[in-house]
Structure 1
Amino acid sequence: MGTLAQLYIIAILISHGLLLIYTLWRRNQQREGFYWTLAGSILAAAASAVYFLPEDWLLANSLGRVFPLTLLLSGTLIAFGGLILGDMDYHQPRPITRRIWLVFSALWPILYAVLAFSNNNGEPYTGVFDAGATPQAIVALGGAALGGIFLIAVGFINFWAANIPEVANRALYWTLGVGIMLLGIALMTTGELIPAMLGMAVLLLGIAGAVNGYTSYRVFDIRASISTILRTLILTVGTGAVIFGAMYLVNGLELSSDLQDALVLGVLALIIAAIYVPARQILEMLFRRLILPKRANPALVTREYAQRVATAQDLKSLAVIATDALNQLMGIRRSTIILVNGTSSDENEIELLIMPNKENGKEQRASLRRGGPIFRILAGNRRPITQFDIEYDPECREVAVSELDFLRSLGMHAYA
């Protein structure tokens, strides 16, 4: 291994070290997964460090450096699988998924190690793919595939079952992270230095995403990122089609002099410029109309809302008309008006009166603790709060079960 490769691996290890320091610094005492995150990061760094061993290094007979590499990478996947499952089961525990993962985590590396030691009399190999159809290679590759498929399946199930957009986005985020980690693991176990170096970077990217998912309950919007990528791809393909079409047209013309070449190219450049700019604007307009969500006009919403509310006869009809207007004008599925009554018999609570709306024509009553997180954020900090914040924000970890159940039953996305 050359000096540049060694410097590259050192840079990868330094990056792993910085991620470890960041994880320790941002340790979230109120969320599970710290030890899973720590173990996965350390194992991934150790897997990259294995490539400092000589290529002909042998542990026993035919067991080369691919043996500790495979064990370390399997441990990395197992650790981050525990983190991901714990995060997706944060408020709706599914013990069966964790039990399956724990059984798999115990059997996979042990079975691989046993088979590797019992079948180590052949020629040494540098990568899992070089080992052929040996039992240990089948277990190594099959275990990674099964583990990845299981995590991705659980991620998609949580994505489809989520009733909060941010929860669905978080499940999709973890699913994408598993795919990135599997790609990095596959590249690192090829036994070839260049793919392995690429795999180290890919695995580091996956681990950075996992650390970000652990340290922050809000992750970047996958759907918005996909929309941006799709828009860029459409515009790039359109631009490329115009440029290559012009080049093909010029090559097909048989011109007799350089002057004619220059004139034709100049005319084509003017025509392409005249066509390309409006064509790009049309593509962007179509993209915004067909793919991007429509945004409400604040002035129009205010005017229409005022006109509709003015027709209300009493408080109940006002609540129904107001919420129906908000639903139509803002493009939302449901809304309600919650009145606060400060005359509760318990001085530590405030009474809430949930006004009827189009979906539910009955009034509902509930209460909030004055010193609770929800009351503190809404009344003390005077900022809105989403249902996702209530479910996942560490600041809302002390929300009473009765309050949480009631707010879930309303089916709202945000409160202000």
Structure 2
Amino acid sequence: MELTISIIIAAIVSLFYAGLLYITYRYRRSTEHHIVNWTMALLVVGLLSSILGLVSNETTLLDQTQLNQPALMVYGGSLFLVLYSVLSTVYLQQKRATVLWLVVGSAWLAALIFTSLQENAFQSPDWVTTLSEDNYTGGYLAVGGWLAIAVLLLISSFAKFYVARLPEIANRALYWVVISPLAIVGTILIAGSIESLQAMGWIIQAVGVAGAVYGIMALRVVDVRETLRTISVNMALTLVTTGAVLAALLIAEELDPAADVQREVLLAGLALVTATLHAPIYLAAEFIMMRLLRQRTEGSLALEVGRFSEAIAGIVELNEVVDLISETLEGALQVRRSELLLCTPDAHDENIIHIEPRFAKLSDTAPALPIGALRKNGILYQKLQNSRRPILQYAIDFEPEFKNVDPMEREFFRKMRMAAYAPVSVQGELIGIIAVGPKINDAPFSEMDISILSSIANQTGIALRNARLVDDLRKREQELEKSNAELEAAKSRLEATDAVKTDFITIASHELRTPLAQIRGHSDIIAALNEQGTLTPEHLTTLTENVRKATDRLETLIGDMLDVSRLDMSALDLRFTQTSIETVVRLAIEPLQESIRERKQSLTAKGLRQLPPIEADTKRLVQAVRNLVLNAVKFTPDGGRIEIYGELLNNAETGIDEVKLIIKDSGIGIDKKNQEAIFEKFFRVGDPGLHSTGMTKFMGAGPGLGLTIARGVVEGHGGRIWVESEKYDPETLPGSTFYVIIPVKPPQGVRRVMQIGGGSARITQDTVVTNGEMPTTMKHAVSSEEEIVQEPDPTVLNPSASRAGLAAAAIAAAERKNQTNTPQQPTETDASSSILSVDALTTPSSDESTDA
């Protein structure tokens, strides 16, 4: 066998691969990462291929002509590329692609071997040059597979470079882009069996494999872009120096050799001029190259740090400290964003340090940062506190030193989306951390960058401590001011509560005494008439009817107060059955028809009949709607108009269908500042001392509970209620509009009365609703306002009044009752007024509005 240069280089490469294999094996004992196993497999295949390169082209395996040395080199090279592809996906952390490359590569390799053996495609050492003539499928399959592997590997490496979240990971991907073509091209030249190219292929493949092993073993590979920039600058400066020297030589050649003395002087002068001009030309070229490559010189970086040292010494405001740090880091390191993390000891556990971001200007577009904690006995805290050197996020994620970091601490720093963290300490205490994001050009941090960051962090300590003291003092002042404001507000609320209590006593005593006075007066009349023997059945009917009305009024007042107390304790139970808004409105206004007619008001309803059925507590909802309509009646002048509308809505947030009920009047309106307060219990706009009882009379007052109950009932159904009014003006009558939203289906969590089968049930309704049936009539019909609040004769309230006076009063009351019951012809004014009647709401022929 003739000893060729290819064989010599193959032998050297074999020894080289054996050495790499031994080094990798030693490294495998210190790491658990499975990428080392793939690396060793690749080196074994490379070693076998290089050993195979030592034998001649005529050598066959097992006396099979198809398994000659060129064919084995093709198979070995193809296997090498498949393993290199799998190794690349593991290196680039593309877990899903690893299995895909392994399966597809194995299938391609099996197809290549099977096809080429059938055709004996690689029997000739120069099969590549004759491929177009021989037209072997195996040959095309081999070349196509090699090219596909090369293209796909480069694409996946570039993709990893662009999507990497850390600059160090991006640099590793870019490094793989550089060394992969060496390994692939070298393998293809070796497998091609062209002797003139095989020697070069062995060298190129060995360099690529060595680079791959270095990239796998080194946590931080050489900065590819920085290396390329350095090479570019050095080449440019070398060209400048070469040009200066070449110019001097060309000038020297033109000198006259005959004038020896003069020539030597000119050469000395030329050398002096060249040396003098070389330094500024060199510096100018270096400056231009740095500007073109967007690199900072050491002098400019030192100037930035010096400015920071001067500025930080005079700052006591925390926000100014944060902004100065961000501006300096932006100028010196050209980072995308930065944050100052404040470290505060836990008030209860001295072993825990809380970390809270203090936002800076550069992070206006950055995502919201989390709030985390470090344990003093943890690895990260100990590293930051003891080393006082910045820690890279890449090191936290991949270096073995941080393998046992607490998972919550690791997740906190990962969510920060930063690249490096520099500790800020004062007197051995960690008070802050400067966190910086990736650079604008996504280059990894160099040792100079780490030194600058460490210097800025060391100079920040005292200023940060002073700024935090000032900030804490300002917070204490703000908290004190807030506490004083809360005390003032509490004082005002207590005064308002006391005033409400006083008003309630005034109003409640008046409201309760009115029906009590009626009961007492009419009882005395009955007793007087009975004692005189003049008590007739007509008198008794009239008097007992008045007593019943006063009792009903008293019962209503007490019921409202109990309802409000239940609302305060969130104890208002609801019994849900299916009903309709039309039914609720009809039952609500039915007792008010006579009062509306006497006040010559009109009430119109629209859009109620087409609304879908709802699930609600019918009695409670009727009570709420009646209170709203009654409020509209009382604060609308005689002859005014009340309108009720209904419509179906769909809540965009919850997707639930809702019914919207609108009650609009042409009354005196409500001041904007009182539009929320009117729903508070016992609230009154006027002076309680001028309280005037009246159920439906214009601006007549009550105990101030109606709207409170209405809101409680609506919210108990999972709905909402509010009022809108332009202003309060009894002259222009701007009117008010109340809005009620009720869900068609009650939401989860509303309070319901217990089912009969589930234990005791508390029934809070006068009319029991069962099996979905609707109440058709209320317990009592509400009479006119004058009959409800009519004050008895003062002589009746006087215990010393004469029996004769009582009897006369009873006879007069009976006569007034008989006159009231006598049918009268309606006047023209009465006929022109309109109210909404029960029949009008239930008449099928009218679906939009009804004016009776």
Q: TM-score, normalised by structure 1?
A: 0.84
| Structure 1 pair 348–216 and aligned structure 2 pair: CA distance change class (3 A) | farther
**Match for 1:70 among 60, 63, 74?**
74
Q: Is the 8 A contact 1:183 1:202 kept in 2?
A: yes
Q: Give the drift of 1:385.
A: 0.7
Distance 1:146 1:37 in 2: 22
- Structure 1 range deviating more: 17-26 or 325-334: 325-334
Distance 1:183 1:80 in 2: 12
Distance 1:273 1:143 in 2: 62
Find out whether 1:61 has 2:62 as its counterpart: no
Q: Is the 8 A contact 2:329 2:335 kept in 1?
A: yes
Find out whether 1:336 has 2:356 as its counterpart: no
Q: Give the drift of 1:366.
A: 0.4
**Match for 2:139 among 119, 137, 140?**
137
Structure 2, unpaired ranges of 5+: 423-852
Correspondence for 1:293: 295
Q: Is the 8 A contact 1:336 1:357 kept in 2?
A: yes
Find out whether 1:10 has 2:11 as its counterpart: yes
| Structure 1 pair 210–259 and aligned structure 2 pair: CA distance change class (3 A) | same
Distance 2:336 2:9 in 1: 52
Q: Is the 8 A contact 2:160 2:173 kept in 1?
A: yes
- Structure 1 range deviating more: 368-377 or 173-182: 368-377
Q: Give the drift of 1:285.
A: 2.9
Equivalent positions of 1:77-116 (< 5 A) are 77-89=81-93, 93=94, 95=96, 97-116=97-116
Amino acid at match of 1:201: I
- Structure 1 range deviating more: 271-280 or 38-47: 271-280
Q: Give the drift of 1:140.
A: 1.4
Q: Give the drift of 1:146.
A: 0.8
Correspondence for 1:188: 190
**Match for 2:404 among 380, 398, 410?**
398
Distance 1:212 1:190 in 2: 27
Greater Rg over alpha carbons, structure: 2
Distance 2:154 2:258 in 1: 61
- Structure 1 range deviating more: 317-326 or 349-358: 317-326
Distance 1:127 1:333 in 2: 55
Q: Is the 8 A contact 2:391 2:421 kept in 1?
A: yes
- Structure 1 range deviating more: 217-226 or 353-362: 353-362
Distance 2:78 2:130 in 1: 17
Partner SS state of residue 212, structure 1: helix
Q: What whole-Å deviation, never above 9, does each CA across 1:165-222 have from its counterpart, x for those lacking one? A: 2211110111111111112112212323342122112111111111111111111111
- Structure 1 range deviating more: 222-231 or 125-134: 125-134
Q: What whole-Å deviation, never above 9, does each CA across 1:265-290 have from its counterpart, x for those lacking one? A: 99689658745725444322322333
Correspondence for 1:319: 322
The count of residues paired between Structure 1 and Structure 2 equals 407
Correspondence for 1:125: 124
Q: Is the 8 A contact 1:309 1:322 kept in 2?
A: no
Amino acid at match of 1:87: Y
Find out whether 1:212 has 2:214 as its counterpart: yes
Q: Is the 8 A contact 2:6 2:198 kept in 1?
A: no
Q: Give the drift of 1:332.
A: 3.0
Distance 2:244 2:66 in 1: 57
Coordinate RMSD, CA, aligned: 3.4
Q: What whole-Å deviation, never above 9, does each CA across 1:16-74 have from its counterpart, x for those lacking one? A: 11111111112252433011100101111111111222221234335421221122222
| Structure 1 pair 26–268 and aligned structure 2 pair: CA distance change class (3 A) | same
Correspondence for 1:383: 389
Q: Is the 8 A contact 1:312 1:321 kept in 2?
A: no
| Structure 1 pair 328–176 and aligned structure 2 pair: CA distance change class (3 A) | closer
Partner SS state of residue 61, structure 1: strand
- Structure 1 range deviating more: 140-149 or 400-409: 400-409
| Structure 1 pair 74–370 and aligned structure 2 pair: CA distance change class (3 A) | farther
**Match for 1:352 among 337, 344, 355?**
355
Equivalent positions of 1:143-222 (< 5 A) are 143-222=145-224
Q: What whole-Å deviation, never above 9, does each CA across 1:55-104 have from its counterpart, x for those lacking one? A: 21234335421221122222222222222211211xxx551x22431232
Amino acid at match of 2:125: T
Partner SS state of residue 130, structure 1: coil
**Amino-acid identity (%):** 23
Amino acid at match of 1:71: Y
Partner SS state of residue 412, structure 1: coil
Amino acid at match of 2:345: G
Partner SS state of residue 333, structure 1: coil
| Structure 1 pair 304–241 and aligned structure 2 pair: CA distance change class (3 A) | closer
| Structure 1 pair 145–401 and aligned structure 2 pair: CA distance change class (3 A) | farther
Correspondence for 1:407: 413
Q: Is the 8 A contact 2:186 2:205 kept in 1?
A: yes
Distance 1:161 1:349 in 2: 35
Distance 1:403 1:360 in 2: 22
Q: Is the 8 A contact 2:77 2:187 kept in 1?
A: yes
Q: Is the 8 A contact 1:242 1:272 kept in 2?
A: no
| Structure 1 pair 339–49 and aligned structure 2 pair: CA distance change class (3 A) | same
Amino acid at match of 1:202: I
Q: Is the 8 A contact 2:338 2:363 kept in 1?
A: no
Amino acid at match of 2:285: L
**Match for 1:228 among 230, 233, 251?**
230
Q: Is the 8 A contact 2:17 2:47 kept in 1?
A: yes
Q: Is the 8 A contact 1:23 1:38 kept in 2?
A: yes
Correspondence for 2:656: none
Structure 1, unpaired ranges of 5+: none
- Structure 1 range deviating more: 377-386 or 355-364: 355-364
RCO comparison, higher one (Cα < 8 Å, 6+):
1
Q: TM-score, normalised by structure 2?
A: 0.43
Q: Give the drift of 1:118.
A: 0.9
